[in-house]
A and B are shown apart, each in its own frame.
Chain A
């Protein structure tokens, strides 16, 4: 009897699920997601996308167990994600503004559907040096990887402190090489993400600046993107997936989930301690605000201007054409989250509503 009951339940739920699908659109067999990874071959990152993945929000919103979700965390980050999108190997991606701007300017067809939240950027100097402030960097060598949000954030911060790139020597290095260069003394300073914290804990470097604290506008922005091809072919599915991402951001925003979120992210290869320091004294609600508001648009506009100034892109990028807020608006409305995150102005100040 019990067995019969379960069988019927299974059959009914199967029919219900498949029929809701048949009414809308053909589902793809696999949906491919790409994001930034930190560790070697770890299948999780440190952003909202990993929450939506691990906590099953996207799977839940799609509601069709036949659709396989393929999550890829790239340690090669920006260029690798760009190549995968252009090669038709990804449908959705969450990554930093600069590589995405570069891909867009080169004609890779994507849409920005949500803000991914910011990455704190740390300015560190070798412990032996007497550098105390950004202004003291004058005449020193700073290791960063060019054409990344770190490069962008460094120049924004220099400008905010009355310096320009002519006042320093930029060493273009990948993260691991930056750490080696600092340890070997061939670089005086570096701008990096949470990855620099272990070096500080070993006493090799001192942190003299954090973007979240000193200049929020230069905190590394990221966004969720969908390929134009996928959004055009599966508009309904795209909406569901964006709802899944937004539910991820909403879950992260609950203070009672903070600890669990850090535990999930700690599986990425970034240590729990580093993550704890990354978000210390801050609400994850604010850091992972998914709104495509003026603050987000301003950061991306800055990124585009920077890319043109630095001759990273040959063609202009029209931000208004690129950002498509319809999925986000639909998700906020259907989840009752329209006022959950306040809109921020250009400087990141939340509007009082």
Chain B
């Protein structure tokens, strides 16, 4: 009797722990633990006055500023400008990167001519180009587009090339045996085979592009979310700077989450054996 209950209890206990609702809680809840801890420490730090309020405004002050900036339209206007920049710059850089990447992956000659230079260029951060690009393009949208496009061009070109080169040779051989036309071969064999690798390159590229854009806006522009942060620092209203950081983080996270979801879809579409 006693033996049984002793044995039974942990089993029942374990069953309760394994319920799907807990999995759901841990899935949605655990990622929130760290932000909530940071928020708590932040709140304590401001209440205790560990830092001057001009240096570290309280979370509630930042929330109020966020609402103010949202209602006044400053955030929306800034974000609209930033998103348009990232869209145009990314479209330019990604298209170019994809084309060059396919060429690099398919042709050994192109790889021999261009590959090493491209890898060398990749070592210079996009922002290292900024002072030079500013002199060439002046200040304005062109500069933003060029820096963003440059930031995503290189990772996409390299990942596309790698993705294509990593397609198992036997697929290509089968395609040759089947005498597939060049177009069919690219659309049916090469691209689906390379897609997962290309896509992780796209994700990295978008991350680079977003960071590059924020820094260009902070250094060499007078609009967008990055500029809003510089302006906040100039006015010594660090709450505006923090709001900018939060907005940049959330938008960047959302873009990455969107791409990850797309990536999962694409992986389902491509056959498992790839």
Where the two chains meet, the residues of A that have a C-beta atom closer than 8 Å to any C-beta of B are: 78-79, 82-83, 86-88, 99, 102-103, 106-108, 146-147, 171-174, 177, 180-181, 183-187, 312-314
Interface contact B54-A186, CB-CB below 8 Å: no
One of A86, A99, A171, A183 near B135 (C-beta < 8 A) = A183
Given known A-B contacts A79-B234, A180-B131, A312-B235, A106 and B54 have beta carbons under 8 A apart: yes
Q: Count the A-B residue pairs with Cβ separation under 8 angstroms: how many?
A: 66
Interface contact A87-B55, CB-CB below 8 Å: yes
Interface contact A86-B219, CB-CB below 8 Å: no
Tell me the bound Cα distance from A59 to B32 in angstroms. 54
Interface contact A103-B135, CB-CB below 8 Å: no
Given known A-B contacts A147-B234, A186-B139, A171 and B222 have beta carbons under 8 A apart: yes
**Residues of B contacting A174 with CB < 8 Å?**
219
Tell me the bound Cα distance from A147 to B231 in angstroms. 9
The 21 listed contacts between A and B (C-beta, < 8 Å) are A79-B236, A82-B236, A86-B55, A86-B236, A102-B235, A103-B54, A103-B236, A106-B237, A107-B53, A107-B54, A108-B236, A146-B231, A147-B231, A171-B139, A171-B222, A173-B139, A180-B131, A184-B135, A186-B138, A186-B140, A314-B237
Interface contact A184-B138, CB-CB below 8 Å: yes
Smallest beta-carbon distance A190→chain B, Å: 13
B233 within 8 A of A: yes
Q: Taking CB as reference atom, which chain B residue is nearest A145?
A: B234
Smallest beta-carbon distance B81→chain A, Å: 15
**Residues of B contacting A107 with CB < 8 Å?**
53-54
Given known A-B contacts A79-B233, A106-B236, A180-B134, A88 and B139 have beta carbons under 8 A apart: no
Where the two chains meet, the residues of B that have a C-beta atom closer than 8 Å to any C-beta of A are: 51-55, 131, 134-136, 138-140, 219-220, 222, 227, 231, 233-237
Given known A-B contacts A79-B234, A171-B222, A177-B139, A184 and B55 have beta carbons under 8 A apart: no
Tell me the bound Cα distance from A7 to B196 in angstroms. 82
Interface contact A173-B237, CB-CB below 8 Å: no
**Residues of B contacting A87 with CB < 8 Å?**
51-52, 55
Smallest beta-carbon distance A189→chain B, Å: 14
Given known A-B contacts A171-B222, A180-B131, A185-B138, A147 and B52 have beta carbons under 8 A apart: no
**Residues of B contacting A172 with CB < 8 Å?**
222, 227
Q: Taking CB as reference atom, which chain A residue is nearest B138?
A: A186
Given known A-B contacts A171-B222, A177-B219, A180-B131, A147 and B235 have beta carbons under 8 A apart: yes
Interface contact A184-B234, CB-CB below 8 Å: no
One of A78, A86, A313 near B52 (C-beta < 8 A) = A86
Given known A-B contacts A177-B139, A186-B139, A108 and B54 have beta carbons under 8 A apart: yes
Interface contact A86-B234, CB-CB below 8 Å: no
Tell me the bound Cα distance from A83 to B236 in angstroms. 8
Given known A-B contacts A79-B233, A82-B236, A147-B235, A177 and B134 have beta carbons under 8 A apart: yes
Tell me the bound Cα distance from A89 to B223 in angstroms. 32
Tell me the bound Cα distance from A316 to B35 in angstroms. 36
**Residues of A contacting B139 with CB < 8 Å?**
171, 173, 177, 181, 184, 186-187
Smallest beta-carbon distance A100→chain B, Å: 10
Tell me the bound Cα distance from A88 to B50 in angstroms. 12
**Residues of A contacting B51 with CB < 8 Å?**
87
**Residues of A contacting B52 with CB < 8 Å?**
86-88, 108
Interface contact A177-B55, CB-CB below 8 Å: no
**Residues of A contacting B138 with CB < 8 Å?**
181, 184-186
Smallest beta-carbon distance A314→chain B, Å: 8
Tell me the bound Cα distance from A274 to B252 in angstroms. 46
**Residues of A contacting B227 with CB < 8 Å?**
172
